[in-house]
Amino acid sequence: MRKPTYQPLSEDGVEAIHEASLRVLAEVGVECRHPEALALFQKAGARIEGGRVYVADQTVDTALADAPKEVTLCGRDEKHDLHLGGTRVYMGTGGAALKVVDPETDEVRSGRLADIARLALLVDNLDYIDFFVRPTDPQDVPPEVADVNKYYASVSNTTKHVMSGVNSVAGMAQVVELGSIIAGNKQKLQQRPFISFICCWMVSPLRIDSHSTELLLRAIEHDMPVVMSTAPMAGTTSPITLAGTLVQTNAELLSGMVLAQATRAGTRAIYGAVPSMSNLRDGSYLGGGPEFGMLNAAAAQMAQFYGLPIYNSAGLTESKCSDIQAGYEKAFSVLQSALAGANYIHHSAGMLEAMSTISYEQYVIDNEILGMARRCLEGIDTSEEALALASIRRVGPGGNYLTDELTLARMRSEIYNPTLSNRGSRAEWEAEGRTDIVAVARAKALHIIASAEPPRFAEDVDRTIRDRFAIRC
């Protein structure tokens, strides 16, 4: 946890966004047609006029005082626990893509349940991807059992934290029961939540979705961590200016905090800001521009201003394949969000084509990008040993540091060592067949999936799960 080194908003800018957001809540309000949510808003002190909810400053202050300043999302293995808050940075996958680039045929097809299982296993073996958000909505599973199968395929193949959205209240209940069986009971799951939920409860601009809000309230009822996600697009569902989009994003999320904390004070609700832009040529989503990183870094500043854990986004691209466009667009926003100190940066690995497609090889490539970003976050060590005065004295003028003891001691830690990038000579590269990094990454992904041992549950636990649910994998 380091002081952020990238802050697109000045201190005055943060205050201006905050004050403007409060005016939006007090003067414009948010639309809500969910009866239980309306009652909770009223209980919190909001003014209700028809389906419009107006929230006063003091109501927001009360909710912020009740909201946890840190939320821990656990892994099945404790070494993967994520302590969200402050400026701790974790980077992982994103989800809900409908299309997959098949790693065997290189053809685009619909997502399958097997893709979730295989990608969870892949991510479990990629060091710089910290968590697993279900990457695709499988088209080969009936809707009534889709939610529990998505979580089972994920959790049975990785010990990292698993997060996803669900389609129904019944599906959420099944997922919580699944987690409780794995944990031992529901209380143990609540104490160490290795699963959590995303609720896209807000439809920008400023309209609360009743179905997703029902899921949000039920997640709170189950006492599970939940992300309140809003994703306005500058120019279509939020103002064209970056500042205006941040004002609306923040207002939407502050209203969500009021609702969540009115439901239960201390609810582990995470500030889920995913502001983006619109391609005004056709109204489509844009995540590959530099403004995307600026918006998400600024959202991290707003969360830090309130002392709230943040879920935001990076690593998006409009590229349709793993090419140079994908590389530079992803690297920009990953570094921007990471250096801003965002806590839970999803979409950081695997995504192509404005979140609509995932690629096995892209996970491996993005793992490299995340490793480089992680090295930047470490900064430069200026300890007595790192200042290297003893080394400089030993080598002296005209000498060589290649065999110096400090070089030998720190050669693997001081300079990032890639697991994918080719740093050899041109002659070596040509001798190896002029290999393309995409082909190397695809081969590595397939090798990991074929050779890695899935971190399965105990046999009796798995039998209980299969007796209870219609597991399809």
Cβ neighbours of residue 70 closer than 8 Å, sequence gap 6 or more: 83, 84, 85, 86, 309
On whether the CB atoms of residues 209 and 200 are closer than 8 A, the answer is yes
- Residue-wise pLDDT for 289-322, tens only, equals 999 999 999 999 999 999 999 999 999 999 999 9
In this predicted structure, what is the pLDDT of residue 3?
86
Other Cβ atoms closer than 10 A to 424: 10
Half-sphere exposure of 196 (CA within 13 A, CB side): 30
| Residues 41-54, mean pLDDT to the nearest whole number | 97
Mean pLDDT, the chain, whole residue set: 97
Give how far Cα 16 sits from Cα of 192, 276, 315, 342, Å. Answer: 38, 20, 28, 20
Residue owning tokens 């479990």: 124
In this predicted structure, what is the pLDDT of residue 1?
64
Per domain, the residue ranges of the chain are 65-378
| Residues 467-473, mean pLDDT to the nearest whole number | 97
Q: In whole angstroms, give the CA distance from residue 350 to residue 446.
A: 14
| Structure token digits, residue 61 | 């202050």
Residue owning tokens 């609509």: 356
H or E element that contains 53 = strand 52-54
In this predicted structure, what is the pLDDT of residue 2?
75
pTM over 0.95: yes
- Residue-wise pLDDT for 225-284, tens only, equals 999 999 999 999 999 999 999 999 999 999 999 999 999 999 999 999 999 999 999 999
In this predicted structure, what is the pLDDT of residue 441?
97
- CATH dotted code for 65-378: 3.20.20.480
| Residues 285-290, mean pLDDT to the nearest whole number | 96
- Residue-wise pLDDT for 361-409, tens only, equals 999 999 999 999 999 999 999 999 999 999 999 999 999 999 999 999 9
pLDDT band at 121 (very low <50, low <70, confident <90, very high): very high
pLDDT band at 464 (very low <50, low <70, confident <90, very high): very high
